[in-house]
């Protein structure tokens, strides 16, 4: 019997539904027999039984799905057929993987010599631990359901218990997000400390030459200023020059001038831009925008114009983040009280003057929050930069030259087989830590501005 987590999850969901029906029916029956009024409605008794039936089995299913493969492999390695396997290495892993694929029905036959004798031990171990897991899961489900079922009585506070369980699940979901962020920070921090033991932090933050050697901590080759400048040039200057005016004018048009029918069509179409994969923007930048900009630069007499340029990446990145700016500006302008509009118009101001001197200043905190969030999104972009701006760490203000960013260099440093004890590879974690700190600060500032804006108009 195979241990299929998806099928078993559906099984325990079905058992939970049965438990809900049974608990609901029993609560009504107990109340009728005792002639007393239920403290909680029958549906809460049903949810109490269903949760006790589902939760222990689901937790066991998650744990068993993680540990069972290792136990199966240990059983196979202890079998007589595994004695002829290599002691270690890639060949050993490939043979085991091949045999496991056949035993679990993922492939029709073995592809590697030596994997055939291991198929039956794998099949037997899979069936053995599958039966153990299913039996234990069902036992936990039935024990939990029986425990909850026997507690049903008229004065039982089922609603309070169910709400407490739901609050615990919500708290757990919140903790997962917090702990995930905490783990990301720790992983970046530990590896960055290892890097800074080899390379000075001052060199990374203030050095002007970036050319990491293969695995060696060569002094003077880990200057991060070209990367930071490329990130600012593309994400915070060129992209914002494109995104802020277009996004703001779009928001003003949609909120003040567009007919309702036009707004209903234009706003969703504009927001589709936010859902386009970044690799699609990268192809557009590399195949269309970059060659056109190079031809334009040659036409106006700019020498040595590259087909990989900061301007191409920045323009396309600006187009990508227009929905972020326009959506926040749209919401902020709409949130300005109608009395401020009416008062401005009543004093004789034109609609144009009302927009420039009343609406936009009043909505400015929310607009600024949206702009800062858009900047955070832009400086973390990778695919557009890799495909359109190149990987050359140049410290230049020429927008037609090839530059690179922090994220693009992280991709370059971690591509292929890497040694995670070399300065070159560890540099990616240090760059990631710097980028994390910068984006975190931008998001904190943006959230504080938005909070201030909400307090003003709620």
Domain ranges of the chain: 5-156, 225-457
pTM to 2 decimal places: 0.68
Decide: residue 236, CB within 10 A, 0-12 exposed, 13-18 middle, 19+ buried: middle
CA-to-CA separations, 145 to 152, 156, 158, in angstroms, rounded: 11, 16, 14
Share of the chain above pLDDT 90, in %: 1
Q: What is the mean pLDDT of the chain?
A: 82
Instruction: Please tell me the predicted confidence (pLDDT) of residue 315.
Output: 92
Q: How confident is the model at residue 91 (pLDDT cuts 50, 70, 90)?
A: low
Give the residue, 237 or 119, on which the prediction is more confident.
Answer: 237
CA-to-CA separations, 409 to 67, 235, 390, 399, in angstroms, rounded: 37, 15, 10, 19
Q: Are 234 and 318 in contact (CB under 8 A)?
A: no
pLDDT in tens, 308-327: 888 888 999 999 888 888 88
Distance between CA atoms of residues 253 and 299, nearest Å: 35
Decide: residue 323, CB within 10 A, 0-12 exposed, 13-18 middle, 19+ buried: buried
The answer to whether residue 345 scores a pLDDT higher than 60 is yes
CA-to-CA separations, 143 to 140, 169, 377, in angstroms, rounded: 5, 21, 49
The answer to whether residue 444 scores a pLDDT higher than 70 is yes
Q: In sequence order, what are the residues at sequence separation of 6 or more whose Cβ sits closer than 8 angstroms to the Cβ of residue 366?
A: 328, 329, 331, 332, 335, 449, 450, 453
Distance between CA atoms of residues 212 and 221, nearest Å: 5
Query: Residue 222 phi/psi, 5° resolution?
Result: -120, 35
Q: In sequence order, what are the residues at sequence separation of 6 or more whose Cβ sits closer than 8 angstroms to the Cβ of residue 47?
A: 20, 23, 158, 162
The answer to whether residue 306 scores a pLDDT higher than 80 is no
Instruction: Please tell me the predicted confidence (pLDDT) of residue 35.
Output: 65
- Give the pLDDT mean for 57-80: 83
Q: What is the CATH number of domain 225-457?
A: 1.10.3720.10
Least confident piece of the model among 77-81, 274-278, 370-374, 416-420:
416-420
Q: For the chain, give percent helix, strand, coil, nearest 5.
A: 75, 0, 25
The answer to whether residue 7 scores a pLDDT higher than 70 is yes
Instruction: Please tell me the predicted confidence (pLDDT) of residue 216.
Output: 63
The answer to whether residue 2 scores a pLDDT higher than 60 is no
Share of the chain above pLDDT 70, in %: 91
Q: Are 50 and 16 in contact (CB under 8 A)?
A: yes
As a whole number of angstroms, the longest Cα–Cα distance in the chain is 96
Crossing angle of helices 310-335/239-252, nearest 10°? 30
pLDDT in tens, 11-65: 888 888 888 888 888 877 877 766 667 777 888 888 888 888 888 888 888 888 8
pLDDT in tens, 186-213: 888 888 888 888 888 888 888 888 888 7
Instruction: Please tell me the predicted confidence (pLDDT) of residue 344.
Output: 86
**Would you list the DSSP string of 378-445?**
HHT--HHHHHHT-S-------TTS----HHHHHHHHTSSS--TTSHHHHHHHHHHHHHHHHHHHHHHH
Give the residue, 91 or 37, on which the prediction is more confident.
Answer: 37
Residue 97's CB is within 10 A of a number of other CB atoms, namely 13
């Amino acid at each position: 019997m195979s241990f299929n987590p998806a099928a078993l999850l559906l099984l325990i969901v079905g058992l939970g539904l049965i438990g809900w029906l049974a608990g609901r029916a029993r609560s009504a029956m107990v109340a009728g027999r005792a002639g007393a009024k239920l403290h909680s409605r029958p549906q809460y008794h049903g949810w109490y039984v269903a949760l006790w039936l589902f939760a222990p089995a689901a937790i066991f299913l998650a744990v068993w799905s993680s540990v069972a493969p290792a136990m199966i492999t240990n059983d196979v390695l202890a079998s007589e057929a595994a004695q002829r396997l290599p002691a270690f290495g890639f060949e050993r892993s490939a043979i085991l993987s091949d045999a496991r694929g056949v035993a679990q029905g993922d492939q029709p036959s073995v592809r590697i010599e030596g994997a055939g004798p291991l198929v039956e031990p794998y099949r037997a171990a899979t069936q053995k631990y599958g039966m153990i897991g299913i039996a234990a899961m069902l036992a936990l489900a039935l024990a939990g359901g029986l425990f909850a079922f026997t507690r049903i009585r008229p004065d039982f506070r089922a609603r309070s218990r169910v709400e407490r369980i739901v609050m615990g699940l919500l708290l757990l979901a919140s903790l997962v997000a917090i702990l995930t962020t905490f783990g990301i920070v720790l992983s970046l921090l530990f590896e960055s400390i290892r890097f800074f033991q080899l390379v000075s932090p001052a060199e990374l933050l203030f050095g002007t030459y970036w050319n990491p050697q293969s695995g060696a901590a060569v002094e003077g080759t880990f200057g991060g200023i070209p990367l930071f400048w490329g990130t600012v040039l593309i994400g915070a200057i060129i992209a914002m020059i494109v995104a802020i005016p277009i996004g703001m004018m779009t928001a003003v048009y949609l909120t003040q001038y567009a007919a309702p029918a036009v707004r209903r069509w234009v706003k969703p179409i504009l927001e589709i831009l936010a859902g386009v994969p970044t690799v699609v923007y990268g192809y557009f930048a590399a195949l269309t925008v970059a060659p056109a900009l190079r031809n334009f630069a040659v036409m106006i007499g700019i020498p040595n114009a590259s087909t990989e340029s900061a301007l191409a990446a920045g323009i396309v990145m600006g187009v990508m983040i227009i929905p972020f700016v326009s959506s926040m500006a749209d919401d902020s302008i709409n949130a300005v009280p109608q009395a401020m509009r009416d008062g401005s118009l009543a004093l004789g101001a034109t609609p144009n003057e009302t927009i420039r001197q009343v609406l936009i200043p009043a909505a400015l905190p929310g607009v600024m929050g949206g702009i800062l969030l858009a900047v955070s999104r832009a400086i973390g972009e990778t695919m557009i930069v890799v495909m359109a701006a190149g990987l050359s760490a140049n410290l230049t203000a020429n927008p037609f030259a090839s530059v690179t960013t922090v994220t693009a260099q992280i991709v370059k440093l971690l591509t292929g087989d890497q040694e995670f004890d070399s300065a070159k590879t560890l540099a990616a974690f240090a760059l990631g830590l710097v980028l994390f700190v910068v984006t975190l600060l931008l998001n904190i500032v943006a959230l504080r501005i938005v909070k201030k804006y909400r307090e003003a108009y709620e």
